[in-house]
Amino acid sequence: MTKILLTIHIIAVIVAIGPVAVAASMFPPAARKALTSGDDADMATLRLLNRICKVYALVAIAVPFFGFATAGIMGVTGNLWIIISIVLTGVAALVLGLLVLPYQQRVLEGKPAPSTQLAMYTGLFNLLWVAVTVVMIFRPGSSLNS
């Protein structure tokens, strides 16, 4: 059962986090282009990228769900590497929900939103997921290290 849950957890990470990371990263340069060109096709691209971010952010709820289930079965929920991963995942979710998506929405509504700040928040979101990946691979403080 552990291998099945771990497999589902990893697939959920790839399928859910990957599209958000890519679409969110594409949004700031696409926003700069759309805001200077005023082209309807460019705005449609922004709406699509925003929709991808929102939908896959909801799908990404499966990541911690299956992660907790896997950690519970493995009996490692109190390990430092799991705690660090949970905290980093929570911070990434907050950055996405409180900074990236609202800034994207402001751009879509035509309100001023500096694309450099949006790019910074998006980069922070992606960096947090890189950190989670590193922690999950190297498992600091784990007795599973070899």
pLDDT of 99 over the 90 cut: yes
Q: For 13-139, where are the alpha helices, taking DSSP H only?
A: 18-37, 40-59, 62-74, 80-95, 101-108, 115-138
Lowest mean pLDDT of 50-54, 112-116, 127-131, 142-146, name the range: 142-146
When pLDDT is cut at 50, 70 and 90, the band that residue 143 belongs to is low
User: Shortest CA distance to 57 belongs to which of 90, 107, 93?
Assistant: 93
Q: Does any domain span residue 143?
A: no
Q: Report how many domains make up the chain.
A: 1
Is 85 within the bounds of a domain? yes
Q: Provide the token pair at 63.
A: 């990541």
Block residue for tokens 């990470």: 13
Q: What is the pTM of this model?
A: 0.90
**Other CB atoms closer than 10 Å to residue 104's CB: what's the count?**
26
Q: Is the pLDDT of residue 55 over 70?
A: yes
Q: Please give the average per-residue pLDDT across 60-77, as a whole number.
A: 93
In a domain, 145, yes or no: no
- Structural tokens at position 54: 């929102």
Over 60: is that where the pLDDT of 145 sits? no
Handedness of CA 14, 20, 23, 24 (dihedral sign): negative
Mean pLDDT, rounded, of the chain: 92
| pLDDT above 90 for 114 | no
Which domain, by its residues, includes 15?
Answer: 2-138
Confidence class of residue 60 from pLDDT cuts 50, 70 and 90? very high
User: Is 146 contained in some domain?
Assistant: no
**pLDDT computed for residue 111 by the predictor:** 85
Cα gap 122→70, rounded to integer Å: 28
Q: Is residue 144 part of a domain?
A: no
Mean pLDDT of the 48-68 span: 96
**What pLDDT, on the 0 to 100 scale, is given for residue 142?**
62
